[in-house]
C-alpha cells in the first residue's frame, strides 16, 4: 500500500491505517468543510441553551457530583478552564508520543462529528496542534477509563489552552504557550460545554488498541515464521498442518496459520530429509511444534474480534452530554470504556499465550535430549561456551511477566467522584499493560528467530527452505551465525528491531514458494 500522506477528518470515520499513519508518521490532517459546517450548526444550538434560564447539564451547570449546581453566565469561562486544570491530574512517566498523537486525532474526529457542541475554532485548533507536531505531556496514571480518559484528555486540552508543557516537533520539552506562539496557534479560551467535550471519550484506550492491533498483525505472521524455523530446525513434520486436517476443525485463524506454516516450510530440504519413516521413527511432535497453528490461530481470531470492536468505536461520537442529530441535548453513558477494555484484556491473554508457546519451542532447541542432534544450548564448544542458554532465560522472564500482565484490568473498579461514578472500566490500564505485552511478545519471538536460525545453520550441509532461508539470510546481515560466545544482548535488540519493523515477516512472505497461501491478519501486514 502507498503511504498515507494526508488524512481528512469529518467526512467519514477514520480507518485504523489512517490513525497509525498520523500517530507514527506525522501525516497531515485536514478537516472536511462539511464537517465544520455541522460543528457551527450544533454550536448555535448550544449557545441558545446557554442563554436559557433553565439549567442544562454541562452547558450551564457543574459536572459530575456537582451536576445540579447552576453556574452564572459570567463564571462559565472560569468553569471550563477550571475543569481542564483540575482534571489534568496525571502522574508518572510521560506517555509515548505516538499514543498522545492518536488521542489528539481521535478527539479531533469526535469534535468534527458536530455532536459535541464545540465551536469550529476548537476543531481547527486541535488539527493545527497535530500538524505542527506539538505533543502535549500526558502522564502514565490518572485515567479510570470512565467518564472518558479524563486526565489524559485534560492534559491535551490544557496544551490547547496554552498551558502546561508539550514536546515540540523536535521533541524538546517546553512551555505550551511558547510553542503555540511559535506555531502561530492562538490558545483556546473555552466557552460553555467545550471543557466537557474535550475530555469525555475513550480516545486513550482506543488509540492504544489500534496501535496494538497494527503491531499484532505483524507479530502474528512473525510468530508463524518463528514456528516454521523451530519446526524445521528441530526436524519436525509439516504433515500435521495439511489443509484437510485443518478443515476437520473449522476455526478460521487456525486454518490461516496452518496455511502459513505450509508455505514457510514448502520445498525445505531439511523437512524432506526425514519424511521417510525408516529415517524418522517419531510418531508425533511435541505440542509446542504440532499445535502452533491452533494457538496462533486462536490469537488471530482474538485480533479479528478486537478489530471489530475498534472499528465500531471509530464510528462513535463519545461525549456527555451529547447533541443528537435532531437537536436534543442528552446525558448518556457512552463514555464507559467496557467494550474497549474487554478486548484489550482479551488481547493480553492471547499475547501471553503466543509468547509462551514460542518460548517452549526455543527451549526445546537448546535441550540436547529433545532437539534431535543439536548441541546443548547450540553452543560452539560445549562446556566452554554457553551458547543461547541465557537468551532462553530472558524469554522465560518475559513470558512470566506477560502472564502477570494477562490478569484483566477490566474486572476491577474503584468508585470515584463522591460515588457518582461508582463503576469504571479501567480500560486505560488495560491498554497500558497491553503495550508492554506487545513489546514483550516481539522480544520473545526475536529470541526464537535467533535460535531457529542458528539451529538451521548447525544442520548444514542440509539447507533450509526458501522462506526460512530468506529469514536466516536477513538475520545474518546483522547477527553473526554460530561460533564462540560473544556479547548476546546487542543481537537480541537488533533481532527485535527486525521483528517489530515487519522485516522478518516480509522476508518470509516474499520468499515463500507458495506465497499465494500466506494469510495476514489484516492489510497492514508487510
- Catalytic residue positions, numbered: 57
Kindly tell me the sign of the dihedral angle through the C-alpha atoms of 227, 225, 438, 424: negative
Residue located via cell numbers 497491553: 434
| Residues of the chain by 3-state class (helix, strand, coil), percent to 5 | 55, 5, 35
Question: Could you give the CA distance from residue 119 to residue 112 in angstroms, rounded to a whole number?
Answer: 10
User: For the packed helices 503-511 and 466-476, what is the interaxial angle rounded to 10 degrees?
Assistant: 140
Neighbours of 81 (CB within 10 A): 18
139 DSSP β-pair partners:
94
Q: Residues 221, 525: contact at Cβ < 8 Å?
A: yes
Phi, psi for 421 (deg, rounded to 5): -105, 75
List the Cα angle 138/144/148 in 5-degree steps.
75
Strand 28-31 and strand 6-9: the pairing is parallel
Tell me the C-alpha to C-alpha distance, in Å, between residue 190 and each of 37, 73, 83, 247, 334.
19, 13, 10, 59, 23
Four-point Cα dihedral 471, 473, 476, 477, nearest 10: -100
Q: Using alpha carbons, select from 223, 222, 228, 220 the residue that is nearest to residue 456.
A: 228
Q: Is 379 left (phi over 0), alpha (psi -120 to 50) or beta?
A: beta
- Which cell goes with 91? 502522574
Dihedral angle sign, alpha carbons of residues 166, 171, 172, 173: positive
Count CB atoms within 10 A of the CB of residue 393. Answer: 11
Amino acid at each position: 500500500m502507498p503511504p498515507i500522506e494526508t488524512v481528512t477528518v469529518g467526512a467519514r470515520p477514520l480507518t485504523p491505517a489512517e490513525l497509525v499513519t498520523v500517530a507514527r508518521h506525522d501525516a497531515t490532517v485536514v478537516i472536511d468543510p462539511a464537517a465544520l459546517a455541522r460543528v457551527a450548526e450544533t454550536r448555535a444550538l448550544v449557545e441558545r441553551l446557554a442563554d436559557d434560564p433553565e439549567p442544562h447539564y454541562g452547558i450551564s451547570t457543574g459536572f459530575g457530583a456537582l451536576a445540579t449546581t447552576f453556574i452564572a453566565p459570567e463564571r462559565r469561562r472560569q468553569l471550563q478552564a477550571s475543569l481542564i486544570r483540575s482534571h489534568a491530574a496525571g502522574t508518572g512517566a510521560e506517555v509515548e508520543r505516538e499514543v498522545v498523537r492518536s488521542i489528539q486525532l481521535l478527539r479531533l474526529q469526535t469534535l468534527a462529528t458536530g455532536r459535541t457542541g464545540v465551536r469550529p475554532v476548537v476543531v481547527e485548533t486541535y488539527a493545527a496542534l497535530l500538524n505542527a507536531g506539538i505533543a502535549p505531556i500526558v502522564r502514565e496514571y490518572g485515567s479510570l477509563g470512565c467518564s472518558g480518559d479524563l486526565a489524559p484528555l485534560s492534559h491535551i486540552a490544557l496544551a490547547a489552552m496554552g498551558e502546561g508543557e508539550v514536546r515540540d516537533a523536535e521533541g524538546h520539552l517546553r512551555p505550551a504557550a511558547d510553542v503555540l506562539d511559535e506555531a502561530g496557534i492562538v490558545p483556546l479560551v473555552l466557552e460553555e460545554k467545550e471543557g466537557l467535550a474535550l475530555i469525555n471519550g475513550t480516545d486513550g484506550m482506543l488509540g492504544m488498541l489500534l496501535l496494538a492491533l497494527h503491531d499484532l498483525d505483524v507479530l502474528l505472521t512473525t510468530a508463524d515464521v518463528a514456528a516454521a524455523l523451530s519446526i524445521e530446525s528441530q526436524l519436525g513434520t509439516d504433515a500435521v498442518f495439511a489443509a484437510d486436517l485443518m478443515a476437520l476443525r473449522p476455526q478460521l485463524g487456525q486454518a490461516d496459520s496452518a496455511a502459513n506454516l505450509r508455505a514457510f516450510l514448502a520445498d525445505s530440504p531439511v523437512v524432506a530429509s526425514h519424511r521417510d519413516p525408516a529415517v524418522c521413527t517419531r510418531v508425533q511432535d511435541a505440542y509446542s511444534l504440532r499445535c502452533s497453528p491452533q494457538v496462533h490461530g486462536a490469537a488471530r481470531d482474538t485480533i479479528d474480534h478486537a478489530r471489530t470492536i475498534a472499528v465500531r468505536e471509530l464510528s462513535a461520537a463519545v461525549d456527555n452530554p451529547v447533541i443528537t442529530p435532531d437537536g436534543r441535548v442528552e446525558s448518556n453513558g457512552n463514555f464507559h470504556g467496557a467494550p474497549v477494555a474487554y478486548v484489550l484484556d482479551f488481547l493480553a491473554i492471547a499475547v501471553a499465550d503466543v509468547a509462551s508457546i514460542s518460548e517452549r519451542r526455543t527451549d526445546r532447541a537448546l535441550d540436547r535430549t529433545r532437539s534431535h542432534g543439536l548441541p546443548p544450548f547450540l553452543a560452539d564448544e560445549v562446556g566452554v561456551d554457553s551458547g543461547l542458554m541465557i537468551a532462553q532465560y530472558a524469554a522465560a522472564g518475559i513470558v512470566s511477566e506477560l502472564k502477570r500482565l494477562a490478569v484483566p484490568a477490566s474486572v476491577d473498579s474503584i468508585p470515584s467522584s463522591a460515588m457518582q461514578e461508582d463503576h469504571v472500566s479501567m480500560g486505560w490500564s488495560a491498554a497500558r499493560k497491553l503495550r508492554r505485552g506487545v513489546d514483550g511478545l516481539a522480544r520473545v519471538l526475536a529470541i526464537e528467530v535467533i535460535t531457529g536460525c542458528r539451529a538451521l545453520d548447525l544442520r548444514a550441509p542440509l539447507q533450509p527452505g526458501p522462506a526460512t532461508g530468506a529469514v536466516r539470510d536477513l538475520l545474518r546481515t546483522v547477527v553473526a551465525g554460530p561460533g564462540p560466545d560473544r556479547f548476546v544482548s546487542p543481537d537480541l535488540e537488533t533481532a527485535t528491531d527486525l521483528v517489530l519493523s515487519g522485516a522478518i515477516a516480509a522476508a518470509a512472505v516474499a520468499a515463500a514458494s507458495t506465497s499465494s497461501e500466506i494469510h495476514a491478519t489484516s492489510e497492514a501486514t508487510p
